[in-house]
Structure 1
């Protein structure tokens, strides 16, 4: 009897959610795609990167086409502009970041000693709040001497890792050449490529897939473009602000602040720690530190209350708990790119659940009922 009930439950589940032929095809397609990404994700990373870039740049090409610019010329102009700006920005930003990271690692032991002096001086500044015993407990808990010894060995380790990764430079160069080429040809021949995919891989009846695609297209496009603009604006404003205050490692900290917007609710909180620590190392607990932290707080408030509503007025509507779970899950699976695409992937999952066809199951006959002949 128990087996019969279990069979009816399973039968009802499949009848409700998988009685539609297109739903079965979509489910198989998603499973196969997931297995492909899991097995060959590292090898196919350039392909996925090129697809995403082509998807983001395609509206600009369409806009130029609307202005009667020839399609091939539009693709060439867009690719040259995008990759040219990216190349120049890399040449300017990356060396500065490398110098600041190296300088920071070198100076960390001295900063820790200064931080220790600051903690020891707190009882004299705030005798009503902090006692000498409490300050000593903090110092013992932090174990600054052990941290300093570990940090002093970081720079040689970083140099060793860099030397060991020199053979991968060829792979990076290949990556940098292949991706722009794929983006160019995807933009140039996207109509032919899409027609080929539709005719060979997708079923003739694809109402469910079309519904999911329509729901996802505008939201994901707005999110990715808006997030890229948000990173640039927040990072640039943070850099200018830190430079005006004379904060050390302003480029490195501004980069961290800009990238922190990728992780809603968590990134800004985490990045506050290095901003505060470097300010404390540089000025101690003085007015300069408080002014910098106030400016940083204003940047975060303007980002959350002004910039985000402007950029994401038509963006995804997800519960904060869903966003955090998506960041943890996809970030754990695919690292940085999983974090970057956590919200679009969560929106994709939500769109599938919203659009998935549900068919009512047939009512089960009541127990003990019989039919008269």
Structure 2
């Protein structure tokens, strides 16, 4: 047993570059786990800087100074963000308020529909079963109401946090873009010299994260815009709100599309009933999901490392539980990091050959 452990340790940790990689990963993980809530604006700024680094590099290639390029790109990003927020937020707020006001009517209609089922299918459902289901739904609605009330009471602190984001994040994004090379050299100066593996994995993950953030933002815009246009064309109520939800659902692979199907189906069902219009809405929604999975994602993430769906779901659950929204957002790059480290890990062929012979 001791010999087996010794051989495994020698095979996996004989290279000092491997030890350096392990130490760097452990330090980063502990640092993020301990200070993620405090440094979340920094992580948001880093993510946005990754998104905007490409246009800055393109401008510097045509003899524009990096400072001027960073100023132009950040101001353009802020302008587009303000236009999008000021244009969409009033509509989303209005439709959200209308949907909340209509929820009691939907619940009443749903209860009435459920109570008619025992008369139509007495051999399958009993009145007592339907009443039990209705009571469970009522209890869940009360729990959700309490959650909404607590969220509204905490809105003041959320507004303060939002103001911090609006002021500090753009400033940090600018400096991350402007002083990128200096910051990278500064932080790498603290690392050991034996960091060949860490550098290799870092370069690979840098490209992976760049592709992922840009691709995910483009995917959200395309899927959200297609869904909104389709819902408006089909006359579905709350089209903008539901379109935004469908666009944001791509942040959580597989799970997001499943969850957002529920509000889309319920709104269409209560508006149109079991009619052809309801079928058209669900057909359009299904086509958009199919295009996203079979056309948009392969085009945008063609350079990404392939991961098994089970691996993606486990990564979403694990990292989302650790770091919330941003853990979900970066679940795929983090899973790719684990795979890249596993693939790049050194081994000693001689030891493996001796073990196989023994």
* TM-score after normalising by structure 1: 0.87
Greater gyration radius: 1
2:96 to 95, 101, 115: 101
1:1-373 to 2 correspondences below 5 Å: 5-6=1-2, 8-119=3-114, 131-132=121-122, 134=124, 136=126, 139-143=130-134, 147-148=137-138, 151=141, 158-159=148-149, 161-198=151-188, 200-360=189-349, 362=351, 363=354
Asked if the contact 2:50/2:213 (under 8 Å) is kept, the reply is: no
Residues 255-282 of structure 1: CA deviation (Å, up to 9, x unaligned): 2211221222222222212111111111
Distance 1:159 1:89, change over 3 A: farther
Residue 322 (structure 1) shift: 1.1
Which sections of structure 2, spanning at least 5 residues, go unmatched? none
Distance 1:218 1:294, change over 3 A: same
Whole-Å separation in 2 of the counterparts to 1:153 and 1:330: 26
Which sections of structure 1, spanning at least 5 residues, go unmatched? 125-129, 368-373
Whole-Å separation in 2 of the counterparts to 1:343 and 1:210: 20
Distance 1:164 1:308, change over 3 A: closer
Whole-Å separation in 1 of the counterparts to 2:21 and 2:110: 57
Whole-Å separation in 2 of the counterparts to 1:153 and 1:318: 37
Whole-Å separation in 1 of the counterparts to 2:140 and 2:338: 43
Residues 333-353 of structure 1: CA deviation (Å, up to 9, x unaligned): 112211111110000110011
Asked if the contact 2:49/2:173 (under 8 Å) is kept, the reply is: yes
Partner of 1:370: none
SS of equivalent to 2:71 = helix
Residue 147 (structure 1) shift: 3.2
Residue 139 (structure 1) shift: 3.0
SS of equivalent to 1:261 = helix
Whole-Å separation in 2 of the counterparts to 1:71 and 1:253: 40
Whole-Å separation in 2 of the counterparts to 1:154 and 1:265: 24
Residues 234-266 of structure 1: CA deviation (Å, up to 9, x unaligned): 011101111111211222211221122122222
Asked if the contact 1:111/1:281 (under 8 Å) is kept, the reply is: yes
Residue 165 (structure 1) shift: 3.0
Asked if the contact 2:41/2:169 (under 8 Å) is kept, the reply is: yes
Whole-Å separation in 1 of the counterparts to 2:157 and 2:25: 36
Distance 1:149 1:324, change over 3 A: closer
After superposing the two structures, state which structure 1 stretch, 85-94 or 231-240, moved more.
85-94
Whole-Å separation in 2 of the counterparts to 1:197 and 1:111: 56
Residue 68 (structure 1) shift: 2.1
Residue 142 (structure 1) shift: 2.6
State the Cα RMSD in Å. 2.5
What is the total number of aligned residue pairs between the two structures? 354
Residue 212 (structure 1) shift: 1.1
Whole-Å separation in 2 of the counterparts to 1:192 and 1:149: 56
Whole-Å separation in 1 of the counterparts to 2:221 and 2:241: 14
